[in-house]
Structure 1
Amino acid sequence: MFKLNKDLELPPQLKWKFSHEPELLGWTVRARNYNTFVADLMFWFCFFVIMISSILIYRSMDDDPVFSGLLTLLYFSGLSISLISITHQRINCVYRITQSGMEHCEWKNFPEWALTFLKWLAGVTAIFFVFMATVDPSFLLGALIGPGGVGLTYLSMAYSKNYREMHTQYHHYAFEWKEITQLAVVTNREIVDFKYSIIQKGDEHVTNGGVNIFCKRKQKEMVAEFIRSFLSPNVPIIKTKADVPQY
């Protein structure tokens, strides 16, 4: 039903700038490219609000415990899934290091697992409500309100062009070693950060910025040392603490 741990499949439009050179180091990782501390606080605050409101809703509907419980479950499940999809989004990253420089690609996969969950939840609860309606016709109303609402949520997510575009962003970056002006090991996350200074093609102005390199667990020190071997000796190497990506 769910395929959460499947290997990353590279996007078909990806074309490496340094593809003519052999890869010296490369890896893929799924990361949360935003302030995770704030996102986690938001998740737990909203989760407790949803849980408390679910309890209050259940206690206010005391006519039928089965009917009330199912509606409350639908309310709690739907909002919780929506909350997780907002606060725990992950981006796919693939990195490639060659003799000329470093490049990486970032993209998002559309959350098909959320659609699958909503589709199954709507179908199973609809069958249950219709079955219970043979005992008590009032359950037909629940079938319209509960599974019907979940079904509308599924349709809006599955066929909304704006929603799909928001969850399928694609970016490709390439940097030569001479463009990197500072390297930093982030102490509170599995990130190596570097600052760059480049002149864009067709532009006479210098563009300065920063890039977060997301690493696998216990990999960042090795990645930082590997990158350091290609940099000029006058490029500063520091340690820092950060949580917000610098693009």
Structure 2
Amino acid sequence: MKASEGLSRVKSLLGNWATPRELPPQLTWKYAHEPELLGWRIKARNYNTVIANGLFFFWLVVAVWFGFSMHSNFETYDEPVRSLCALLFFSLLIITVLSMTHQRMNFAYRFTKSGAEFCKWKVFPEWTLTFLKGLAAFTAIAFMCMASAYNDPALLIGAIGGSGSVMLTHASMNSARYRDLQTDFHHHTYEWSRFTEVAIDRKQKLVGLEFAWYNDYLNKHSRSTFPLFAKRKAFESILGLVEQHLPNVPRADRYVDRG
């Protein structure tokens, strides 16, 4: 009775923030025919977020410094032109940095009587191409209007160069190689007996399930830990559910790698 009540509380908690669990066509649940004990979907950063955040703030400072420097050094132009140039540079740099330091992977988890299934996928963000096209058009129109207002042909170069650099970024992101790097699909299925340890990272509020597998490249048995990404407030509930289904598996309070 206690176990069923605990499971109901977990489902209720996860249901408050979980997004729809539909998977992309490339992924399907192996145990879809079995009742779901627990399942949720979340977007998470599956890498060292401390390092990524540090890099982002470093480049943010660099972008702000260059933006102010550009605004101060373009003394031959009026305030609107200087502000637009600084804003354009800042926007391009920050968009580029964000695309590297704040990428998120889609994760979907489903637990059944037979075991656990983990799906993760990343699809190309089409919205970025639309945004870059709009930014290029806005830059070209803004510079041409200012060139006409100030009667300065040099601003036409800014219209061509500014919009051209944005479209160059658009072309590089729209390349087949970049799209392949931004597209990924994985499906992992494990029976409950496969798990050899429950890793508990209380600092990150992250539960990890360790499993054994054979490394064909190194020709030996290896162990890996699959992190269960979830909202921090669901940490204790998920840990309780895992402990109910893996009562005899060792627990370890240790760091869980997000990668």
Instruction: Normalising by structure 1, report the TM-score.
Output: 0.87
Once the two structures are TM-superposed, the CA of residue 8 in structure 1 deviates from its matched residue by: 6.6
CA distance in 1 between partners of 2:220 and 2:255 (Å): 30
Query: Mapping of 1:59-78 within 5 angstroms?
Result: 59-65=72-78, 66-78=80-92
The answer for the alignment partner of 1:191 in structure 2 is 206
Once structures 1 and 2 are overlaid, which stretch shifts more, 131-140 or 148-157? 131-140
CA distance in 2 between partners of 1:58 and 1:138 (Å): 16
State the AA in 1 paired with 2:209.
Answer: F
Once the two structures are TM-superposed, the CA of residue 220 in structure 1 deviates from its matched residue by: 1.9
Once the two structures are TM-superposed, the CA of residue 194 in structure 1 deviates from its matched residue by: 1.4
State the AA in 2 paired with 1:29.
Answer: I
State the AA in 1 paired with 2:170.
Answer: Y
**1:228 aligned onto 2:243:** yes
Q: Which runs of 5+ in 1 are unaligned?
A: 1-5
**1:150 aligned onto 2:163:** no
The answer for the alignment partner of 1:138 in structure 2 is 154
1:17 to 30, 45, 55: 30
Question: CA RMSD, aligned part only?
Answer: 2.1
Paired-residue identity, % = 40
State the AA in 2 paired with 1:182.
Answer: E
**1:95 aligned onto 2:109:** yes
Offset from partner CA, 1:161-210 (integer Å, 9 cap, x none): 11111111111111111110110222122421111124589xx9534211
Once structures 1 and 2 are overlaid, which stretch shifts more, 97-106 or 130-139? 130-139
2:58 to 31, 41, 45: 45
Offset from partner CA, 1:20-42 (integer Å, 9 cap, x none): 32211100001011100111111
CA distance in 1 between partners of 2:58 and 2:43 (Å): 25
Question: How many residue pairs align between the two structures?
Answer: 236
CA distance in 1 between partners of 2:97 and 2:34 (Å): 43
The answer for the alignment partner of 1:3 in structure 2 is none
CA distance in 1 between partners of 2:197 and 2:215 (Å): 19
The answer for the alignment partner of 1:211 in structure 2 is 226
What secondary structure is seen at the aligned counterpart in 1 of 2:159? helix
Kept after mapping to 2: 8 A contact 1:29/1:94 = yes
Once structures 1 and 2 are overlaid, which stretch shifts more, 107-116 or 25-34? 107-116
1:55 to 63, 68, 75: 68
Kept after mapping to 1: 8 A contact 2:137/2:163 = yes
**1:122 aligned onto 2:136:** yes
CA distance in 2 between partners of 1:133 and 1:193 (Å): 59
CA distance in 2 between partners of 1:53 and 1:21 (Å): 57
